Amino acid sequence: MHIDHLPTPALLLDEARLRRNIARLDERLRALGVNLRPHCKTCKSMDAARLCMASPQGPITVSSLAEAEYFAEHGVTDICYAVGVAPAKLARGMILRERGVRLSLLLDSTENARLLAAFAGKHGHVFDLLLEIDCDGHRSGLRPDDPELLECAAVLTRAGQNLLGVLTHAGSAYDLAAPSPEAFAALAKQERDAAVSAAQRLRAAGHGCPVVSVGSTPTAFFGRDFTGVSEVRAGVYMFQDLVMAGLGVCRVEDIALSVLCTVIGRRKSDGNLVVDAGWTALSRDAGLPGRFAREGYGLVCDVDGKLLPGLRVAETNQEHGIIAAREGMCPPLPVGAQLRILPTHACAAAAAFDAYHVCREREVTALWPRCRGW
């Protein structure tokens, strides 16, 4: 089947680029001697996960219990749920663990540790747990020197729970004012130092702490030394997107994901093209600050994936995208012509679809389903 026959909008995944992106990070981390725990929140696909897992059983990272359940159904048994666990989700986590999945859960407060300890005590269950460390003030977690870190650990171990170690994420990598290899290397060091020093404090207090988990796609690609780190997490690296290209983490031609759409009209006033991919297909993610005027909600390629320079998705309605040229006019493409849009944010564009059409050039070679929900 050729992509010309796909109903649009459709989500295309270029298999050659996907494999190259996966190989690139694999080779880098192998050379640095550190394991990868791919974050499957981006792909949400067992078929894609198979290409990046070290073994058919994992390890992987997920961002929701629905993902954990989906991957577990497909035989993955080593799963880190890397979002602070809500107490009401513990029962589902326990069920997965009782089915033989080594699911690790995350928390970052004594309050949550006590709630978890109470639940675990009531049900006679031992969870595998990670304490979340804040390495950059971006989101959540405890600072490595916070007294609460040892309190949390003490609550958990007193309750007979299995404290595996610590986890941190340099989420500020996406917001760096002046991104550069040096800036990402410095941030990767900060990320590593935070996790390693937290683990050292826990070990000094008598906790084993074998897991020291760090990662973001930029710090995974630019970190120079992962000494003391047991695993690196990264997700968007397998698809890449305009945010990553804007940060210098990849080239635009590495982006494996695109949204296939069809021209449905041309505006007479400005020659802009109207396509059938709106925000339902592209998301409203506006990408990196300051780049919207260049990249809009996505850059535009022809049906073969060749970039059409100077074009971008300037506006989106629910089912309409408006393609504008930065200078001059859009090419006068006919109604019915297909285009591919490179997404600003691969995770968000992919989330709009239930499956990938995997392709080699114009040939569709497979349909890979995605999981969804929470």
Residue 116 CA to residue 373 CA, distance in Å, equals 24
- CA dist 324 and 311 (Å) reads 6
Q: What is the DSSP letter of 311?
A: E
54 part of the interface to a copy of itself, by CB under 8 A: no
Rounded CA-CA distance 20/8 in Å is 26
Query: Among the candidate windows 20-28, 68-76, 155-163, 272-280, which touches a copy of itself by CB under 8 A?
Result: 272-280
Question: Which positions from 276 to 315 touch a copy of itself by CB under 8 A, shown as an x/- string?
Answer: x--xxx-xxxx-----------------------------
Enter the tokens of residue 176.
């760096």
Structural contact between residues 134 and 143, judged by C-beta atoms closer than 8 angstroms: yes
55 lines the binding site for a copy of itself (CB under 8 A): no
Give 129's strand partners.
Answer: 105, 163
Q: Which is nearer to a copy of itself, 86 or 366 (CB)?
A: 86
Measured from the CB of residue 285, what is the shortest distance to a copy of itself in angstroms?
5
Q: Helix H segments across 33-160?
A: 46-52, 65-73, 90-98, 110-123, 147-158
The residue (of 208 and 332) whose beta carbon lies closer to a copy of itself is 332
* Residues in region 103-132 near a copy of itself by CB under 8 A: 107-109, 111-112, 115
18 vs 314, which CB is nearer to a copy of itself?
314
Q: Which member of 24, 89, 291, 362 binds a copy of itself (CB under 8 A)?
A: 89
Q: Which one of residues 20, 84, 183, 189 is an interface residue with a copy of itself (CB under 8 A)?
A: 84
Torsion sign across C-alpha atoms 76, 80, 83, 86: positive
Residue 349: CB minimum distance to a copy of itself, A: 11
Question: Any contact of residue 334 with a copy of itself (CB under 8 A)?
Answer: yes
Rounded to the nearest angstrom, the gap between the alpha carbon of residue 162 and the centroid of all alpha carbons in its chain is: 27
Ramachandran angles phi, psi of 307, nearest 5°: -60, 135
Phi, psi (degrees; rounded to nearest 5) at 85: -80, 135
Give the binding range for a copy of itself (CB under 8 A) out of 22-30, 48-56, 139-147, 205-213.
139-147
Cα 38 to Cα 232: distance, rounded to the nearest angstrom: 8
Q: Which residues bind a copy of itself (CB under 8 A)?
A: 7-9, 41, 63-64, 83-89, 92, 107-109, 111-112, 115, 137, 139-140, 142-143, 146, 171, 262-269, 274, 276, 279-281, 283-286, 317-320, 322, 334-336, 345, 347-348, 351-354, 372-374
